[in-house]
């Protein structure tokens, strides 16, 4: 059985697909891997979708821990808060390992 991959989705992707073809996210989750989204990002940046929509589209909503939020605060401010949350999520062992596998297979 093929190992399941993970992708971290940012606001730009969610907003673009919400305006065009949101169901493509279902296909991406089915054929590419688990789609992780920060719950804060969905709540604060993507007014086109709510948590119920996220569930229907197969998004895995991630609640950042206090430690992760503190790390977000320590990162370089040249990135938006939500971009920094995506970076912190990418450091999670399961997500990071799966992202590395995806990158290796793409290049």
Best CA proximity match to 7, nearest among 26, 30, 38, 32: 32
| Other C-beta atoms lying within 10 Å of the C-beta of residue 101 | 15
DSSP string, 35-87: EEEEHHHHHHH-TT--HHHHHHTTEEEEPPPHHHHHHHHHS-TTS-HHHHHHH
Note the pTM of the prediction, 2 decimals. Answer: 0.77
pLDDT of residue 25: 92
Is the residue at 38 inside a domain? yes
User: How does pLDDT run along the chain (107 residues), one tens digit per residue?
Assistant: 456 688 898 899 899 998 999 999 999 999 988 999 999 999 999 999 999 999 999 999 999 999 999 999 999 889 899 999 998 988 876 554 444 444 444 43
64 within some domain: yes
User: Is the separation of the CB atoms in 37 and 6 below 8 Å?
Assistant: no
Q: Is residue 49 part of a domain?
A: yes
* Residue 17 resides in a domain: yes
Domain count across the chain: 1
Q: What is the CATH number of the domain that holds 84?
A: 3.40.50.1010
Residue 96 forms part of a structural domain: yes
User: Is residue 1 situated within a structural domain?
Assistant: no
- Domain housing 30: 6-106
């Amino acid at each position: 059985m093929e190992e399941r991959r993970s992708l971290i989705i940012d606001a730009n992707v969610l907003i673009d697909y919400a305006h065009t073809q949101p169901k493509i996210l279902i296909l991406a989750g089915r054929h590419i891997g688990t789609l992780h989204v920060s719950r804060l990002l969905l709540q604060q940046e993507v007014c086109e979708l709510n948590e119920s929509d996220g569930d229907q589209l197969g998004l895995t909503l991630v609640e950042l821990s206090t430690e992760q939020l503190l790390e977000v605060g320590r990162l370089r401010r040249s990135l938006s808060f939500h971009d920094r949350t995506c970076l912190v999520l990418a450091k999670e062992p399961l997500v990071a390992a799966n992202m590395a596998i995806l990158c290796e297979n793409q290049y």
